[in-house]
Amino acid sequence: MKLEISYHLENFIGGNLIGPLSGKFIDNINPATAEVYGQIPDSGSKDIEAAVHAAQQAFPAWSVTPVEQRFKILNRIAELIDANLDELALAETNDNGKPLWLSKKVDIPRASANFRFFATGIMHFATESHNMEDKAVNYTLRQPIGIVGCISPWNLPLYLFTWKIAPALAAGNCVLAKPSEVTPVTAFLLSKICKEAGLPDGVLNIIHGTGPGAGEAIVSHPAVKAISFTGSTRAGERIASIAAPKFKKLSLELGGKNPAIIFADCDWEKMLFNTIRSSFANQGEICLCGSRILVEESVYEKFKTDFVNWVKNGLKVGDPLDAESKQGAIVSKTHYEKILHCIEMAKKEGGKILCGGNAVKLEGRCANGYFIQPTVIEGLGPNCKTNQEEIFGPVVTLQSFRNEEEALQLANATQYGLAATIWTNDISKANRVAAKVESGIIWVNCWLLRDLRTPFGGLKNSGVGREGGWEALRFFTEAKNVCIEL
């Protein structure tokens, strides 16, 4: 099967591609060119009602479909994603603005890896049993929940969308899924792949639209029993306020303000290369990017010189279709303006711009696109807005610390707790800091190295619940304990 990229999107409900019942559409804009290049259904509660109906029809058969069969279908979806790598990567880049090489190398391969991982995962998923000596035996029965909602953001569009959908389907649920309205095309193409792979009609329903429109209709529908959400802390709070009083199961993967903690005794070259990546990969639009770089005082000046030099000379901002571009476009005009506003605020707070700080005007095809220079700022204390609020763009701050204790104070001085990176060759120090840093994910001498079996998620205002491996399959099942007296 070869996908034809179409930019006039439709919802995928009950196995059919259909327009929104309201007949309304939203413009889809390519951030690299600022041109409208597609239309997205502006779905609402009636579309969600139709999707719930389709899911209810499909659930009885899908929930008892043998795992070997679910494995085959999910694995086939993975194969079809791989077979359409070029088309999906191009669609993702046009939607999101990220370099095409990055979509090809990371985003799309990871989407098929997600399906493959959970296809095999469900074949090995086991439940516990507890033996009460000669009195009784208990076993845990894990059954699919029913209809679940999966809502994802724009930064890693197909990668994060499939990270939720794959375990939900593998565990035998029927799904209502909504991609971000800012980057919907790969999810639309996935509808066609799922049909081709033989996923029964109504098992996966993909509905397009805004958060307050389609998103809230999914979250508030009484038939949707669990919500897996990735996005901003603000939207997560709103979703929790709707879902929690209805006692729905909730997994919330939210914002971050991640520290990169650099000790003087680290492997300098490796640290520098990876700190460039962790600061600016995907234009800094990865929830796991380190936006607060904390450097031990004795090497602060050396770090500043080496880092700024690399940022100035090694990170070409350019057309996402150009293989030489290291930084593509910011995802939308709104987000571009927000980032520029944050840079202005940093200046008002007394921050010194060491490099970047401005929009980039390209020539040709991308003359009107939303591009920003990678930006490094110093001279700001831990409590200012720039070091407290998530910017989610190519902007990092530098702060220095005197010792381990001060590094931890700075690292933990935000409402967030998603990810942290520690750079040191002292294994004991790495372990001490990892135990005390308030983050759900901690990398020592590496960044973004992911084993899909490990629990993934944040502490504090970065979310609740864990994705990944058995955690995800447990989330998407209801546990019942059966006690049998002997």
> What does the binding site for ligand NAD look like in residue numbers (CB under 6 A)?
151-155, 160, 178, 180-181, 210-212, 215-216, 219, 230-232, 235, 238-239, 253-256, 287, 390, 392, 418, 458, 462-463
Residue 23 near residue 46 (C-beta atoms within 8 A): no
Task: Tell me the backbone φ, ψ of residue 196, rounded to 5 degrees.
Answer: -65, -35
In the complex, the smallest distance separating the C-beta of residue 117 from ligand NAD, rounded to whole angstroms, is 16
For ligand NAD, the closer of residues 97 and 172 by Cβ is 97
CB contact set of 414 (below 8 Å; sequence gap of 6+): 257, 292, 387, 388, 460
CA angle 261, 263, 267 (to 5 degrees): 105
CB nearer to ligand NAD: pick between 71 and 447: 447
> CB of 285: closest distance to ligand NAD in angstroms?
8
Can you read off the two tokens belonging to residue 455? 């629990």
Percent of residues in the chain assigned helix, strand, coil, to nearest 5: 40, 25, 35
Give, as one character, the DSSP assignment of residue 133: T
Measuring CA to CA, how many Å separate 199 from each of 77, 207, 292, 298, 323?
Answer: 9, 17, 44, 58, 36
Q: Considering beta carbons, is residue 181 or 319 the nearer one to ligand NAD?
A: 181
Distance of CA 58 to the CA centre of its chain: 28
The DSSP 8-state label assigned to residue 123 in this structure reads H
Q: Which amino acid is at 359?
A: A
Compute the least distance from the CB of residue 2 to ligand NAD, in Å. Answer: 28
Element (H, E) at 148: strand 147-151
Going from the C-alpha of 418 to that of each of 133, 151, 161, 330, 478, the distances in angstroms are 42, 19, 19, 22, 26
What angle do helix axes 185-197 and 85-96 make, rounded to 10 degrees? 160
> 348 is written with which tokens?
């008002």
- Three-state SS annotation for 362-384: CCHHHCCCCEECCEEEECCCCCC
Min. distance of Cβ 420 from ligand NAD in angstroms?
14
Angle (deg, nearest 10), helices 300-314 and 268-280: 50
Name which of 236 and 374 has its Cβ closer to ligand NAD. 236
- Residue 323: both structure tokens together: 């293989």
Nearer to ligand NAD, 259 or 318 (CB): 259
Q: Are 99 and 93 in contact (CB under 8 A)?
A: yes
The single residue listed with the structure tokens 């000669």 is: 134
Q: What angle do CA 373, 377, 378 make, to 5 degrees?
A: 165
Best CA proximity match to 330, nearest among 5, 42, 29, 111: 29
Residue 2 Cα to chain centre, angstroms: 27
Minimum distance between the CB of residue 428 and ligand NAD, rounded to whole angstroms?
A: 30
Q: Could you give the CA distance from residue 418 to residue 346 in angstroms, rounded to a whole number?
A: 23
In the bound state with ligand NAD, the residue whose beta carbon lies nearer, of 185 and 266, is 185
Sign, Cα dihedral of 166, 169, 244, 12:
positive
Active-site positions read 253, 287
Residue 43 or 84: the one with the smaller Cβ distance to ligand NAD is 43
The structure tokens 């197909």 sit at 158
> Least separation, in Å, of the C-beta of 457 and ligand NAD?
7
CB-nearer residue toward ligand NAD: 107 or 390: 390
For ligand NAD, which is the closer residue by CB, 140 or 232?
Answer: 232
